[in-house]
């Protein structure tokens, strides 16, 4: 009996602490959720009043600043450009939803801020910079050996699959590209800038800016007809994949290589059975040829003109995780201005464009964005020049 009493008396304080402890944890949880809204003063202080020296870059949606919160957390603050027509309430609702997105391969969104007409998003700062800052720099590209590039490809595929299928609602990224893939201190890739399609609903300006200065990542049906679906992301992912393999930007492709763009050149190598030649020669010694060949083929499957022929991200993840046998041959890649034939859909018009199929693709939810600029009137600009900077 004595022993039991003793144990009981020992348990009491323990019970007491654990109860209190869980209460505290609950409160902390609630507080953390509440803290998703940042005050403008906090962010201004964290970024030294948005000082130009803190600017990490400026993309189509507005500038990004590096900052540090009083609690020591490093952040990246994105100021959304004012032409978003979304009201404040809708913005806050969307930002709250996006702050719930949690995946190893997606940048953490800490919260948001509204200040007058300004809308800001607060992300975790990811320390090893974006993929473009390594991949396209001759003196740094070797830091990304084949193993790292393969892991980046697999990680981004998983992150994108999560956004498309496993998050609370389907999130079409709309802007997958090398500068939106960040690397953390362990080289884990993280997708940045997700959710813009939700924060800028039916935003014509965005499409038009991009159409005017096509960046080489946009699916033809999106550029030409404003049809946005998960398959537009799959296309951009395919371009990113081929860039990671070759170390070349699709948007500033070297025309001396006897092809219109990187996609077409890779397609030619594939047809000749020389997939391994697509690999960036500066990392050739680190190559795993079998993986390179598989990635080239998957990249080409993702960049086919016909969105219905492109695999879903789920399939891409499966293909990357096992050695597939009998992988189908890709059809010619699509790029803005190109037209495709649909060899596998008998009865279809041969000059059909992607728009008619995007709507009927059962695996996708399609949003229509009206692109008012006629891409054809932009002439040669379509093949990958960035806007004047
Ligand atoms: N969370 C972040 N952590 C670290 N760097 C970031 C983060 N978000 C963005 N950046 C950097 O800021 C740059 C500019 O971002 P952004 O305005 O989205 O333009 P873009 O992606 O078109 O280059 C990115 O290229 C990236 O290098
Ligand atoms: Mg970005």
Q: From the candidates 145, 175, 184, 280, give the one annotated as an active-site residue.
A: 175
Tell me, yes or no, whether 389 lies in a domain.
Answer: no
Please tell me if the CB atom of residue 58 comes closer than 6 angstroms to any atom of ligand 1.
yes
Give Cα 176 to chain centroid, integer Å. 4
Domain range for 75 is: 3-124
Please tell me if the CB atom of residue 191 comes closer than 6 angstroms to any atom of ligand 1.
no
Tell me, yes or no, whether 223 lies in a domain.
Answer: yes
Pairing label, strands 109-115, 118-124 = antiparallel
Tell me, yes or no, whether 231 lies in a domain.
Answer: yes
| Same domain? 109 vs 149 | no
| Same domain? 104 vs 195 | no
Q: How far apart are CA 198 and CA 202, in angstroms?
A: 9
CATH label of the domain that carries residue 260: 1.10.510.10
Span from the CA of 154 to the centroid of ligand 1 (angstroms): 21
199 vs 20, 157, 176, 342, 380, CA distance in Å?
Answer: 40, 23, 16, 34, 31
Q: How far apart are CA 304 and CA 307, in angstroms?
A: 7
Q: Give residue for tokens 């199929």.
A: 357
| Same domain? 105 vs 236 | no
Q: State residue 204's pLDDT score.
A: 52
Q: Are 270 and 289 in contact (CB under 8 A)?
A: no
Please tell me if the CB atom of residue 183 comes closer than 6 angstroms to any atom of ligand 1.
no
Q: How far apart are CA 117 and CA 148, in angstroms?
A: 41
Please tell me if the CB atom of residue 201 comes closer than 6 angstroms to any atom of ligand 1.
no
Q: State residue 21's pLDDT score.
A: 58
| Same domain? 109 vs 218 | no
CATH label of the domain that carries residue 45: 3.30.200.20
Query: Token pair of 374, please?
Result: 């006629």
| Same domain? 179 vs 275 | yes
* Number of domains composing the chain: 2
Per the annotation, the verdict on 203 as an active-site residue is no
226 vs 3, 120, 220, 234, 358, CA distance in Å?
Answer: 76, 26, 9, 16, 10
Tell me, yes or no, whether 282 lies in a domain.
Answer: yes
| Same domain? 150 vs 82 | no
Alpha-carbon Rg for the chain in angstroms: 24
Q: Whose CA is nearest to atom 27 of ligand 1?
A: 130
| Same domain? 78 vs 172 | no
- pTM exceeds 0.85 for this model: no
Query: Token pair of 302, please?
Result: 């993702």
Tell me, yes or no, whether 382 lies in a domain.
Answer: no
Domain boundary pick from 99, 124, 149: 124
Tell me, yes or no, whether 388 lies in a domain.
Answer: no
Domain boundary pick from 69, 92, 124: 124
Span from the CA of 109 to the centroid of ligand 2 (angstroms): 13
Please tell me if the CB atom of residue 56 comes closer than 6 angstroms to any atom of ligand 1.
yes
Q: State residue 343's pLDDT score.
A: 45
Tell me, yes or no, whether 77 lies in a domain.
Answer: yes
Taking CB atoms within 8 Å and a gap of at least 24, the contacts of 69-74 are 69/42, 70/42, 70/45, 70/46, 73/110, 73/124, 74/124, 74/125, 74/127
| DSSP-derived secondary structure letter, 194 | T
| Same domain? 227 vs 354 | yes
| Same domain? 234 vs 252 | yes
| DSSP-derived secondary structure letter, 258 | S
Counting ligand 1 atoms within 8 A of each CB, the residue from 64, 124, 240 with the most, and so the one to mutate, is 64
| Same domain? 200 vs 90 | no
| Same domain? 87 vs 236 | no
Span from the CA of 343 to the centroid of ligand 2 (angstroms): 36
Domain boundary pick from 90, 124, 158: 124
Span from the CA of 235 to the centroid of ligand 2 (angstroms): 18
Beta bridge partners of 190: 182
Tell me, yes or no, whether 387 lies in a domain.
Answer: no
Q: Which atom of ligand 1 is nearest to the CA of 57?
A: 14
Q: How far apart are CA 240 and CA 152, in angstroms?
A: 10
| Same domain? 141 vs 103 | no
Q: State residue 138's pLDDT score.
A: 93
Please tell me if the CB atom of residue 270 comes closer than 6 angstroms to any atom of ligand 1.
no
Please tell me if the CB atom of residue 361 comes closer than 6 angstroms to any atom of ligand 1.
no
Q: State residue 367's pLDDT score.
A: 58
Q: Whose CA is nearest to atom 14 of ligand 1?
A: 57
Mean pLDDT by 10 residues, the chain (389 residues): 54 45 65 76 97 90 93 94 73 87 95 91 94 95 97 98 89 92 97 81 55 72 86 97 96 73 94 96 96 97 97 97 88 74 42 34 48 38 32
């Amino acid at each position: 009996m004595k022993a039991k009493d003793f144990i009981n008396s020992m348990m009491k304080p323990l019970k007491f602490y654990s109860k209190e402890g869980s209460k505290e944890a609950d409160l902390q949880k609630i507080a953390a959720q509440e803290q998703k809204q940042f005050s403008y003063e906090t962010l201004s202080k964290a970024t030294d009043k948005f000082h130009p020296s803190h600017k990490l870059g400026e993309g189509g949606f507005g500038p990004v600043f590096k900052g540090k919160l009083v609690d020591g957390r490093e952040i990246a603050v994105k100021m959304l450009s004012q032409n978003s027509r979304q009201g404040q309430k809708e913005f806050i609702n969307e930002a709250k939803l996006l702050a719930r997105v949690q995946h190893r391969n997606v940048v953490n969104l800490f919260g948001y801020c509204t200040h007058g007409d300004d809308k800001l998003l607060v992300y975790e700062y990811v320390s090893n910079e974006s993929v473009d800052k390594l991949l396209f720099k001759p003196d740094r590209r070797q830091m990304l050996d084949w193993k790292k590039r393969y892991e980046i490809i697999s990680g981004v595929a998983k992150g994108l699959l999560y956004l498309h299928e496993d998050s609370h609602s389907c999130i079409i990224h709309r802007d997958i590209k090398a500068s939106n893939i960040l690397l953390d201190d362990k080289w884990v890739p993280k997708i940045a800038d997700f959710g813009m399609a939700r924060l800028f609903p039916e935003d014509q300006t965005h499409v038009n800016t991009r159409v005017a200065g096509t960046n080489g990542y946009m699916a033809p049906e999106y550029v030409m007809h404003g049809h946005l679906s998960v398959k537009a992301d799959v296309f951009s992912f395919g371009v990113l994949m081929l860039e990671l393999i070759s170390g070349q930007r699709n948007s500033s492709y070297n025309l001396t290589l006897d092809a219109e763009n990187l996609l077409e050149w890779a397609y030619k190598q594939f047809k000749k059975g020389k997939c391994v030649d697509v690999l960036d020669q500066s990392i050739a010694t680190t190559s795993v040829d079998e993986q390179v060949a598989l990635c080239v083929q998957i990249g080409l499957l993702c960049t086919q003109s016909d969105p219905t022929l492109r695999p879903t991200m789920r399939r891409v993840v499966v293909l990357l995780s096992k050695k597939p046998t009998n992988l189908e041959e890709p059809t010619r890649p699509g790029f803005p201005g190109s037209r495709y034939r649909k060899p596998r859909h008998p009865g279809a018009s041969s000059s059909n464009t992607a728009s008619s199929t995007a709507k009927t693709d059962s695996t996708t939810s399609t949003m229509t964005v009206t692109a008012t600029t006629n891409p054809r009137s932009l002439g040669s600009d379509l093949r990958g020049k960035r806007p004047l900077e």
